[in-house]
């Protein structure tokens, strides 16, 4: 089979094609369309950042607009850490990561990302 012969080439090529900062995080775009009928059909749009341990989620509106989960300790995403002062540095780091990604890709969602250390206004 030829596959084992191409693997090193593909791996080396990907190192030059993908910026190092992109390998640290996965950014997910969320668009729930108008399925949120009880809110007058308003779209629910958001972004998420995953780094292997933490998942940060932010929506453009809603009561739980900003969420932070430690997936190592809470794989079911039951405890939102975004409002916990103990996780303020993690929250700030994920906001910064998402802000940078939005700026680099021209994503207008950057305007939705709160500045400062406190939780997003709901």
Whether 7 shows a pLDDT value over 70: the answer reads no
The band of 118, judged by pLDDT with boundaries at 50, 70 and 90, is low
At 38 the pLDDT is: 55
**Per the structure block, which two tokens stand in for 81?**
């850490």
Q: How far is CA 31 from CA 48, 59, 83, 122, in A?
A: 11, 9, 24, 18
* pLDDT value for 41: 63
In whole angstroms, what is the distance from residue 110 CA to residue 98 CA? 8
CATH architecture entry for 20-112? 2-Layer Sandwich (3.30)
Q: What is the pLDDT of residues 83-107, one digit of tens each?
A: 999 999 999 999 999 999 999 999 9
For residues 2 and 78, the model is more confident at 78
Average pLDDT over residues 39-48: 79
For range 24-42, the mean pLDDT = 72
Spell out the domain ranges in the chain.
20-112
Range among 7-11, 24-28, 37-41, 49-53 rated most confident? 49-53
Q: State the alpha helices, DSSP H only, in the chain.
A: 3-17, 88-105
The pLDDT, as a whole number, for residue 2 is 43
- pLDDT score of 117: 63
Report percent pLDDT > 70 for the chain: 68
53/34 Cα distance (integer angstroms): 31
Spell out a b/e string for 72-93, using b for 16 or more CB atoms within 10 Å of the CB, else e: eeeeeeeebbbeeeebbebbeb
């Amino acid at each position: 089979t030829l596959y084992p012969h191409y693997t090193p080439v593909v791996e080396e090529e990907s190192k030059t094609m993908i910026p190092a900062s992109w390998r640290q995080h996965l950014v997910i775009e969320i668009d729930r369309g108008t399925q949120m009928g009880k809110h007058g059909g308003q779209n629910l749009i958001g972004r998420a950042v995953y780094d292997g341990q933490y998942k940060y989620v932010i929506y453009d509106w809603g009561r739980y607009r900003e969420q932070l989960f430690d997936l190592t300790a809470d794989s079911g995403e039951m405890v939102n850490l975004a409002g916990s002062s103990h996780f303020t540095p993690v929250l700030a780091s994920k906001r910064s990561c998402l802000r940078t990604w939005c700026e680099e890709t021209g994503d207008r969602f950057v305007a939705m990302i709160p500045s400062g250390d406190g939780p997003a206004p709901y």
